[in-house]
Amino acid sequence: MLDASQISRRIKLRQLSVFIAVVEHGSMAKAAEHLAISQPVISKMIASLEQTLGLPLLERSRLGVEPTLYGKALLKRSIALCNDLRSGVDELQSLADPAMGELRIGSTEPVMAGLLPAIIDRLSRQYPRLALHIIEGEPPELQDRHLRNHDIDLMIGRLPGPTPAADTDVEVLLHESGVVVAGLNSPWVRRRKIRLDELVNECWCLPPRESFPGGWIAHAFHACGLEVPRASVTVYSILMQSALLSSERFLSFLPASMLHFSAKRLSMKVLPVEMPIQMWPVGIIALKGRTPNPAQRLFVACAREVAKPLAGKRNARSNR
């Protein structure tokens, strides 16, 4: 069997691209149609790849193909390699004009509902030819899957843990807190001061208790000596919460930065409820060892400017 260096010299990028397509489409015929090449060519390339590696990559049946244990391992590395190459090409193209590059961003739903649109609006006005591709996910998934798989160049959102991973660079933009919110027609919006215990028996729309925001909400009530109220509606989706809050009946907890940028658009108002001070960092995470392309630098610089007013609020809250 050839050693790793000999095998790597024999494997062609085109073979890996074809292999990825075959697995993604579940059959050589569908992959051939997608790639606009003949099925015999596909079969020959896969067979050549298996021969070079000396390992079976696909299990074939009348229903199509499935990757073997070896195929799954190669698939993961092949996707990362192709994404890295694409990033390299994007970077080379953008060197001539940084404002013409592409940037792939992963973010969380709360940030996508407030901070991120504000960043993108400012950035796109300054650099209208910049192309941004955005995917949504939870922080652990964005970091451990999409960022390390090189599906995205960076992620912006709540940091996945208190300590940054060894292979990541982290820049904290602001420290987030939660607020009680209601729709504009709620009778509570006319009050100038509200105690949390006054709201225990209201109709609450809350995220699941086991989620990060659900745990934060439970801590807030417990810190005030209160039991967590029974949720009339339990849902993680901020879109669903926003729809319910548009009536006068429901209350919820949402991130303060989201309301800072989007309260008017979402027809919500922050209620003047005294809350225990709890904060969690929101920032930008990228992988170490990867040279950020010029588009990434533009995004980070713009994010700092947009988040600056909110970043300054941390000290004000801490000094109360």
pLDDT digit string (tens) for 53-80?
A: 999 999 999 889 999 999 999 999 999 8
Assess if residue 90 is contained within a domain.
no
Q: Is residue 89 part of a domain?
A: no
What is the model's pLDDT at position 158? 93
| Residue with token string 């709890």 | 278
Instruction: Give the separation between CA 253 and CA 205, rounded to whole angstroms.
Output: 8
Higher-confidence position of 257 and 8:
257
Q: What is the total residue count of the chain?
A: 320
Query: Would 276 be classed as within a structural domain?
Result: no
Sign of CA dihedral 131, 136, 138, 141: negative
Quote the percentage of the chain above a pLDDT of 90: 64
The confidence band for 233, taking pLDDT boundaries of 50, 70 and 90, is very high
Specify if 303 maps to a domain: yes
Q: Are 259 and 181 in contact (CB under 8 A)?
A: yes
Domain boundary among 12, 44, 78: 78
Do 302 and 168 lie in a common domain?
yes
Q: For position 315, what pLDDT does the model report? A: 47
The mean per-residue pLDDT over the stretch 4-17 comes to: 86
pLDDT at 313: 62
pLDDT value of residue 290: 81
In a domain, 234, yes or no: yes
Domain membership of residue 85 (yes or no) is no
What's the domain count of the chain?
A: 3
What backbone phi and psi angles, to 5 degrees, belong to 230?
Answer: -70, 130
Same domain? 124 vs 55: no
Confidence grade of residue 8 (pLDDT, cut at 50, 70, 90) = confident
**Quick count: other Cβ atoms within 10 Å of Cβ 90?**
20
Q: Residue 319: is its pLDDT beyond 60?
A: no
Is residue 49 located within the same domain as residue 15? yes
| 217 has pLDDT over 80 | yes
Token pair 């993680």 is at which residue? 236
* Euclidean distance between CA atoms 135 and 151, whole angstroms: 9
pLDDT score of 276? 77
In a domain, 313, yes or no: yes
Q: How far is Cα 225 from Cα 121, in angstroms, rounded to an integer?
A: 42
Torsion of CA 44, 49, 51, 57, to 10 degrees: -100
Nearest to 147 by CA among 160, 163, 129: 160
The token pair that represents 239 in the structure block:
């879109």
* Domain shared by 231 and 297, yes or no: no
The average pLDDT across 199-223 equals: 91
166 & 191 share domain: no
Q: Does 157 share its domain with 228? A: no
The range of the structural domain enclosing residue 142 comes to 97-175+281-318
Which range of 4-8, 25-29, 264-268, 314-318 scores highest in mean pLDDT? It is: 25-29
CATH code where residue 202 lies? 3.40.190.10
CATH of the domain at 14: 1.10.10.10
Q: How far apart are CA 159 and CA 142, in angstroms?
A: 10
Pairing of strands 231-234, 178-183: unpaired
